Structure 1
Amino acid sequence: MEYRQVVAGKFLRRPNRFVAFCAVEGQEVKCHVPNTGRCRELLIPGRRVYLAVSDNPNRATRYSLVAVDKEGLLVNMDSGAPNRAVEETILSLALPGMAPLAGYRREARFRQSRFDFFLWDEAGREAYLEVKGVTLFEGAAARFPDAPTERGIRHIHELMAAREEGYQAYLLFVVQARGLEYVAPNDPGGTEFGDALRLGVAHGVVPLAYDCTVAPQGMWLHEPLPVCLIERDLNLEGGCEH
């Protein structure tokens, strides 16, 4: 997943969820923020950031803030990037309970929800897959969500319903950086999503995770990571139960 043109800058401030101001070659520019999460651990004044440049004359801003250098760790924070990175390699994904994949469809409707992908394999089995980007990191852990998410909880319940109707159901966490060791629900910030995820797994929803190779100009899936549903000691890096 690549951007056409990227420039480096320095983060200045974020007055609301959708807008940030950055300095590019000494000039202050207005940027779209393609991530409605809090991102407080990422967007700290003075940090080096990377802005995708658009030539679309109908856009309100020419720049989108897509990546940030977090103390040497390059993090993509574009909420649209995980789906695009997954789609580039989706037919080569190895999904538990599925034969090699034969095809897929984006934005698949199920009941009152819409999942990111509907998949089918060479044996005729069908599945729904929902993708969640992860940009909150604590020690070795990549945590989701960074803010309460009723939508994320609803997706888990709808995946459970799909499983009950005979479909395979997957929740894929895409860690938008490299160097993390595992993915875990952000129970320290509130257990609502984690409780829903643990319930979903008990009813057949399969959680998966990948980290990513990140560069200023793009992001690509790298390798699988374990998903830890229960951590033995939140202060012990890597201490978790699968």
Structure 2
Amino acid sequence: METLLLPYPEGCRVGRFIRREKRFFVMAELDGEEVTAHTNNTGTMLGLLRPGCPVLLSPARNPARKLKWTVEALGQPGGSGFFWVGVNTSMPNRLLEALFRKGLLAWAGGYASLRREAVNGESRLDGLLAGPSLPELWVECKNVTLVEDDVAAFPDAVTTRGAKHLHTLMRLVSEGCRAAMLYVVQRPDGRCFGAADYVDPDYAEALRLAVRAGVEVYPTVVHVKEDGIHYGGMLEYREC
């Protein structure tokens, strides 16, 4: 039985995707009516925005919020029906903590504490792990929703900020720390992981340099279901 890492809030609903408007709005059909839902995903969601596909919506926690729904996942054709792709970009940071608390980060053995949103210089990284007689372990998390030719890939849009994080991690390694990228693959159909050099060659080159400098890469699959997000194992990182 799969390990449930993060449950979705009660009241989630499945609607039908209509279109994306601007950056933060998704139009969906729910109970025969068109509703506007919030998406925090600033990427392109390349290949996912199929009119008519299922969309998983969670209710806003704040009843006073103008938009009553948040987009959690989009359904994509596969197998005998469809599978969910998690597009909520706040999840990887939360999943880092869930994986750590449940002892599912084999590469973080011996570390006793995790501080999220840790600041180093001008950068804010997703996590800082500490343990007795162990070097600091800095972790940056990214959400992966793109798969091409069976390769789960990041990013799906040009990201100068992402490249900046890689350079920060390289510096930390040079200072004697450990540093790692946790790529959370929120879909089940990737057989390995690599940088999307066809989307952002600069990021791909920065990742290659980071790995050679000692930055660790851990592509981790999660299975998105209507009750929440489950642990799905690890993927091999392949340098493109």
The answer to whether TM tops 0.5 is yes
Supply the distance in 2 between the matched residues of 1:49 and 1:217 (Cα, whole angstroms): 14
> Is the 1:160–1:200 contact (alpha carbons within 8 Å) kept by the matching residues of 2?
yes
Offset at 1:22? 0.3
Supply the distance in 2 between the matched residues of 1:94 and 1:17 (Cα, whole angstroms): 36
Whose RCO is larger (CA < 8 A, sep 6+)? 2
| CA 1:108–1:217: 2 relative to 1, 3 Å | same
Offset at 1:34? 2.1
Q: 2:226 aligns with which of 202, 216, 234?
A: 216
Supply the distance in 2 between the matched residues of 1:217 and 1:36 (Cα, whole angstroms): 24
- Equivalent in the alignment of 2:8: 3
- Equivalent in the alignment of 1:103: 113
- Equivalent in the alignment of 1:41: 47
Residues 66-123 of structure 1, C-alpha deviations (whole Å, 9 max, x = no match): 111101121111101122122112142111xx54221110111111101100001343
Supply the distance in 2 between the matched residues of 1:52 and 1:145 (Cα, whole angstroms): 25
Deviates more, 1:101-110 or 1:121-130: 121-130
TM-score, length-scaled by structure 1: 0.90
Q: 1:24 aligns with which of 30, 38, 45?
A: 30
TM-score, length-scaled by structure 2: 0.91
> Is the 1:211–1:223 contact (alpha carbons within 8 Å) kept by the matching residues of 2?
yes
> Is the 2:37–2:67 contact (alpha carbons within 8 Å) kept by the matching residues of 1?
yes
Q: What number of residue pairs does the alignment pair up?
A: 228
Does 1:50 pair with 2:53? no
Q: 1:116 aligns with which of 121, 126, 134?
A: 126
Task: Classify the secondary structure of the residue corresponding to 1:67.
Answer: strand
Supply the distance in 1 between the matched residues of 2:109 and 2:55 (Cα, whole angstroms): 41
Residues 41-84 of structure 1, C-alpha deviations (whole Å, 9 max, x = no match): 11111111110012523312000111111011211111011221
Does 1:94 pair with 2:103? no
- Equivalent in the alignment of 1:233: none
Does 1:177 pair with 2:183? no
| CA 1:169–1:55: 2 relative to 1, 3 Å | closer
- Equivalent in the alignment of 2:3: none
> Is the 2:145–2:152 contact (alpha carbons within 8 Å) kept by the matching residues of 1?
yes
- Calculate the aligned-residue CA RMSD, in Å: 1.3
Does 1:60 pair with 2:66? yes
Offset at 1:225? 0.7
Q: Structure 2: which 5+ residue stretches go unaligned?
A: 1-5
Q: Structure 1: which 5+ residue stretches go unaligned?
A: 231-242
Supply the distance in 2 between the matched residues of 1:51 and 1:106 (Cα, whole angstroms): 26
Supply the distance in 1 between the matched residues of 2:178 and 2:96 (Cα, whole angstroms): 18
Q: 2:160 aligns with which of 135, 150, 157?
A: 150
